[in-house]
Amino acid sequence: MTTLHQSGNLVAGRYQILSKLGQGGIGITYAAEDLKTGQQVALKAMSLRQTNDFKALELFEREARILQQLNHPAIPQYVDYFEVDLPRDRLFYIAQQLAEGQSLETLLERGWQPNETEVHNIAIQILEVLVYLQQLTPPVLHRDIKPQNIIRRSDGWLFLVDFGAVQDTYHNTMLGSSTVVGTYGYMAPEQFRGQAVLGTDLYGLGATLITLLTGKAPADLPYRKLRIHFRPHVTVSKQFADWLERMVEPTAEDRFPSAAEASSALRGEKAFACANQKPARPSDSSIKLAISKEQLVAEIPPIGLGSGHSRFFALLLLIGYLSLWLIGWTINARIFYDLLFHDAFNSASYLEELSNFLIYQIPYGSVFFILWGVTSVSLLVLFLRGAVCRTRLEIKCQNFRLQQWLWGWRYSDARGQLTQIKQARLKSLGLSIRRTPITACTVIARNRSQPQFGSLLPEAEKVWLVAEIEDFLEKQRAIAASKSA
């Protein structure tokens, strides 16, 4: 979009252009002086010819209509809406109070690094604005909250500006909307489908706060299961990190239901649960886990029959071997009985019967014994590795080592560079108990999986251990990335 005005131009005989403030997808905003009142205003202009999009015009007119209804000290006051006809174009204008200060985006670009307290205060102020917007009838959605659209005065007071993507919930839910508006990284997933709910603005605010804490746009941070994986990149309290994670949940239903709820939780007035909260360590865990800034060491002692999985496999093996013994004893008992008591043991008919038994029945029995033998050996190996094995995982800044012992014999010793590890996760063993898959912990290297461990631990303990390992790996990746940057 080409510049519509230069400094000194007079618009509608009333507004004298001072400078250009910014340019968005559907308009250009200028700082201007209202010659009628002598005050400075923000004059947003849109050219119908350059836009050539009636959807954009609809958004522009909707912005003007909704701004007339708003009255909040953190939202620049509406002044005027008018049109100017030119020989080959029609220009549309919205005049608002000029918000003094600099955008959060500009402050970040100039090296500003706010701490947790400052970011907390920013969250409180913007949430107050969102509470006001959501209490209107119908509620109003901004849909484009980002650092560029939050202006900070020198005294710390904030303004929420640029309502170009604004929408009321009546228009969204009753009339429908297929217009996708917003800024990538700060847009909630539902916005890509042209939808918006009360939690949509919460996502934008959460993503903005994460940008303030990390100095990086959300699109430049890693994602895990569609979530912004920001925790390894920030140094904040656990409660604030949990609150932020709730704000940027990819599913709208998992976020706070409203700005009022989010504000109450942030102020500590109401308890909340983090939908993706890291699992807690089971109280009866025997795993020794030591984590420092540069090293993780996990030692898993033999669990014996201390878990439900190990007792299940022990019972399965016992039943299997008792069944084999019983079948073998039955066959031997029959032959032994016939040798001692069968009257016609030496007769031709009995010899023929015994011969048929040996020729036709034994081979089928042998196949059964072989199949069961292979299965039982596999189960026995799994049981020994899960219940009797001792494991030690050591991850340092540069390398890792995974060792496993069986009755003092070290049968596995895998090692490598830390950069080779892609992730830690649970891997299914292809077995289930009551339709619940049995898993094992493993670290995935770039080209191969490392040995599995902890297969017979309680599932909650495995989930906790893998989460701790993955969290440590993410922090190491963040440290490595910051050093290379």
**144 is a catalytic site residue:** yes
CA distance 40 to 254: 42
- Among the listed residues 34, 144, 201, 242, the single catalytic one is 144
CA distance 163 to 145: 9
Q: What is the DSSP letter of 453?
A: B
CB atoms within 10 A of CB 424: 22
Element (H, E) at 54: helix 54-67
Strands 78-86 and 40-47, by their bridges, are unpaired
The two tokens of residue 374 are 């292979």
Strands 288-291 and 295-300, by their bridges, are antiparallel
How many residues can be counted in the chain?
Answer: 485
CA distance 463 to 474: 16
CA distance 125 to 115: 16
Residue among 146, 277, 127, 269 at smallest CA distance from 198:
127
Give how far Cα 314 sits from Cα of 183, 286, 324, 389, 459, Å: 57, 20, 15, 15, 17
Element (H, E) at 20: strand 15-23
Name residue, tokens 């800034």: 293
CA distance 181 to 163: 11
Residue 302: asked if its preceding bond is cis (omega within 30°), the reply is: no
* Catalytic sites, residue numbers: 144
